[in-house]
Amino acid sequence: MAYKDEKLNEEKVFKDPVHRYVHIRDRVIWDLVGAPEFQRLRRIKQLGTSYLTFHGAEHSRFNHSLGVYEIVRRIIHNFEDRPNWDPNERLLCLCAALLHDLGHGPFSHSFEKVFKLDHEDFTQEILLGDTKINAILSKVENGFPKKVADVINKTYHNKLVVSLISSQIDADRMDYLQRDAYFTGVSYGHFDMERILRVMRPMEDQVVIKESGMHAVEDYIMSRYQMYWQVYFHPVTRSAEVILSKILHRAKELHETGYEFSLKPTHFLSFFKEKPTLKEYLELDEAVAMYYFQIWINEEDPILSDLCERFVNRRLFKYIEFNPNLQMSEWMELYRLFNKAGLNPDYYLVVDSSSDLPYDFYRPGEEEERLPIHLLMPNQELKELSRQSEIVESISGKKRTDHKLYFPLDRLEEMSNRSKTKKRILEILYG
């Protein structure tokens, strides 16, 4: 029997708190799960620094990847025998679902911003390079790794296949919303996924939703909206992200100025210089990064030491709402005052904006920027979701941006009460 058709003698199941069970029958999928590049995802947290806000949010990209695989497996099961669905794409869809996040690094969001990297490039490298994953995919058929890479990169010719993994209502989002809600413990993020899966219909180049399922999709959009504000965009998590980014900036700056680290940052060196090789990239997971942060607490450089201590012991920056338009002159004054107070404003006075985050809202794609969710009407016509649903329309029109100013209040409070600088800083910050 060809490798691509091989089945395990007995179905393997993973217990899963969100989907109850993840079912694996294909030999290829089982082998991929066992590959070191996939096992590495156990050491990358799904929600980065959110565990400092929601103590339960310690789940990994490994959990999430299995979840996305399971959702796609169920969708495909529902699609069997439906028009527009090509059963020959089954294994490709399952592999792409399982491997879509393979290139995520430690605390990916901050690392990518600071070191100008893109985890999607590394996903491609893992799929196409000299890796165990590539060896397994290559056994399926000639060119199969490239096909998987194209689906994940959204450039595969069959757009229906792409839309299962990546669209405004895809398996990726359906898993992470529910999983993140479960592990953070918030009561938002729940929606009737079983119902959505039942009303999904394959069309030539996208998955659409049968009109009768509109209310289930409204719930999904609401949950996405609430998770954004309550979890993904939480100001305390953002504070931790700000400190983490500043640690990475500081370590890089120190390295570039010839500073002698007491613990040589071996695993970071290639990140400081240029793009790391795949091997170097895979060697730096969150456990390794946390080890350095812990050790750097004892570094001589006071800024690196302080920032690491804050991150490790959750002594985060405080924040105020900030409007760069109305408060530009105040910001400039604060910048001067922080310098005067001996607090380097490049590290201790930080504006963080909503666009700094990797999550998004539903967008109706009014000018074809992005494909929206389409409802399949009884007359077979397609209608964009927000044109049919008042709930979705009202959410789409809301103001959804903000800016916050982060700073170490504890350091300001330590200053003498007679200090005019302290008085003026606190006056600007708190009125």
Partner 1 sequence: MLENHAKLMHFFASSDEIIGRKKLQKIIYILKKCDVPFEDRYQFHFYGPYSEELTLRIEELCNLGFINETREEKKNYYQYRYRLTDAGKDFLNHYQVELPDIGEPVAKMKEKSSRFLELVSTMLYFEHLPREEVEEKVFTVKSKQNYSEEEIEDAWGFIEEIRHTTH
Candidate ranges 45-53, 147-155, 183-191, 224-232; the one touching partner 1 (CB under 8 A): 147-155
In whole angstroms, give the CA distance from residue 103 to residue 112.
11
Under the binding rule (CB under 8 A), the answer on residue 84 touching partner 1 is: no
3-state secondary structure of 78: helix
Task: Give the footprint of partner 1 on residues 262-321 (CB under 8 A).
Answer: none
CB 395 within 8 A of CB 225: yes
Residue of 5, 11, 58, 118 that binds partner 1 (CB under 8 A)? 118
The least CB distance from residue 35 to partner 1, in Å, is 25
> What three-state secondary structure class fits 283?
helix
**Cα distance between residue 121 and residue 281, in whole Å:** 11
Report in angstroms how near the CB of residue 118 gets to partner 1 at its nearest.
7
154 binds partner 1 (CB under 8 A): yes
* CA pair distance 199, 190, nearest whole angstrom: 17
Q: Lay out the site mask for partner 1 across 44-83 (x = CB under 8 A, - = otherwise).
A: ----------------------------------------
**310, amino acid identity:** R
Spatial neighbors of 11 by CB under 8 A, at least 6 apart, are: 23, 24, 25
Alpha-carbon gap, residue 196 to 213, rounded angstroms: 7
CA 305 to chain centre: 28
Of the candidate residues 135, 263, 269, 328, the single one contacting partner 1 (CB under 8 A)? 328
Instruction: Please identify, among the stretches 94-102, 214-222, 255-263, 327-335, the one whose residues bind partner 1 according to the rule CB under 8 A.
Output: 327-335
- Tell me how far, at minimum, the Cβ of 326 lies from partner 1, in Å: 9
Shortest reach from residue 195's CB to partner 1, in Å: 25
Part in contact with partner 1 (CB under 8 A); list of ranges 31-39, 136-144, 150-158, 283-291: 150-158
Contact 325, 353 (CB under 8 A): no
Element (DSSP H or E) covering residue 383: strand 382-384
Residues that bind partner 1 (CB under 8 A): 116, 118, 120, 153-155, 157, 159, 205-206, 323-325, 328, 331-332, 351, 353-355, 360, 363, 366-371, 399-401, 403
